[in-house]
Amino acid sequence: MATNQGKMNGRPGRNGRNGRKAALRYAHIIGWGMEVPARVMTNDEISQIVDTSDQWIRERTGIRERHIAGPKDSTATLALRAAKRALEVADVNPADLDLVIVATATPEHLFPATACLVQDWLGASNAGAFDLSAGCTGFIYALNLAAQTIVSGAADTVLVVGSETLSRIVNWEDRGTCVLFGDGAGAVVLRASNAPGGVLTGLLRSDGSGSELLSLPAGGSRFPPSPETVANGMHKIHMNGREVFRFATRVMTQATRSVVEDLGLTLNDVALIIPHQANIRIIEAAARSLGIPMDRVYVNVDRYGNTSSASIPIALCEAIQSGKVKPDDYIVLVAFGAGLTWGATAIKWVPTPPPPSPLSQRAREVGYWLAALRSAWRRLIRRLESWVRGLAAQSQ
């Protein structure tokens, strides 16, 4: 998406094609959920691994602690738990999903997509699924894409997840990076509605000339895994922190202004900004430059560190649950990351849905159990078919 996405509202709905007066379609966030691993790692613990201190980390980044994936956690399992919570809030059955998008920089595998695993485990049997790679801006890209898919009429209900296990790709000998990152997942369910509001506009940008500033160099086709790539630490995060810092403070401000102006609003109309949680100094510098007081900026970097594409959905989830987002509020989500990429989204929040009935939650739980059964059954049938084909080939 090369250009400013412009306003997403104002597109005719599906019933516009059969001659009746077309209703406008909007993409509303109707469910949200998050998941972080149980294990909390404090700055003091990190200072026992590398030459750093709690004071340095707090003063330079604002981070106090982060959550670290346990042996049984992975990007897909964290994504699944966040997704289930979002579906519960939305009271949506997985079979009603048209699309599952997982934004991640730490996918379960290079392929298949983590989103396909989540789709299978949920039993989202009518959904397409794919991963989206845009570094820490991944959730913003995915949210914009999902909203446009809904507004265009191509989908009615979309699950968007940001999920990461960055602890698996951090160089635990590099104090310049290992103190920054954490693990977690956040998810939202978007649904088409004729009620004005929801995800109204977005801005997506990229500057690949800065690709080497933040990267995981090996493991792809450029540097396939080899003893040398492993020995040279090329499967770990490499970052030029100072350059990324400079870039971040500039684009956070620009992207926020752009989406606000796109809606014909001013920054005074924005009730809450939810920025990518990378470093409190970046967030404060952007707020200063925008002239927005910090009580209108959501911050949780102290508790989670930088969870890349999970950082905004986790923060959004907490902001909603703590009552910081109110009906009819305009909120802006804004992020930057590897690529380089950056982007923002402006949302008009609508009244929250009523709590789901315990019965429909029970039905979803049975559905998850059936999805696991169906997945195992399909694997078995595939194996049997291949075995029978093998026998037939031998007998010819």
Q: Which of 7, 11, 168, 175 binds ligand UT7 (CB under 6 A)?
A: 175
- Whether residue 115 contacts residue 180, with contact meaning beta carbons closer than 8 Å, is answered with no
Q: Which of 279, 307, 309, 345 binds ligand UT7 (CB under 6 A)?
A: 279
Neighbours of 95 (CB within 10 A): 14
Q: Minimum distance from CB of 245 to ligand UT7 (Å)?
A: 4
Is 58 a binding residue for ligand UT7 by CB under 6 A? The answer is no
C-alpha to C-alpha distance for 56 and 175, rounded to whole angstroms: 11
Q: Which of 68, 117, 278, 344 binds ligand UT7 (CB under 6 A)?
A: 278
Is 219 a binding residue for ligand UT7 by CB under 6 A? The answer is no
Is 280 a binding residue for ligand UT7 by CB under 6 A? The answer is no
Is 368 a binding residue for ligand UT7 by CB under 6 A? The answer is no
Active-site residue, from 144, 276, 279, 317: 276
- Whether residue 185 contacts residue 178, with contact meaning beta carbons closer than 8 Å, is answered with no
Is 306 a binding residue for ligand UT7 by CB under 6 A? The answer is yes
User: 3-state DSSP call for residue 347?
Assistant: strand
How far, in Å, are 72, 242, 258, 345 from residue 261 at the CA level?
A: 45, 30, 5, 12
Is 249 a binding residue for ligand UT7 by CB under 6 A? The answer is no
Q: Minimum distance from CB of 97 to ligand UT7 (Å)?
A: 28
Residues 35-54, interacting with ligand UT7 (CB under 6 A): 52
User: 3-state DSSP call for residue 293?
Assistant: coil
- Whether residue 11 contacts residue 2, with contact meaning beta carbons closer than 8 Å, is answered with no
C-alpha to C-alpha distance for 245 and 375, rounded to whole angstroms: 45
What region does 378 belong to: left with phi over 0, alpha with psi -120 to 50, or beta? alpha
Q: Which of 56, 130, 223, 368 binds ligand UT7 (CB under 6 A)?
A: 56
294: tokens are: 């910090």
Enumerate binding residues for ligand UT7 (CB under 6 A): 52, 56-57, 60-61, 136, 175-176, 179, 214, 239, 241-242, 244-245, 248, 278-279, 306, 337
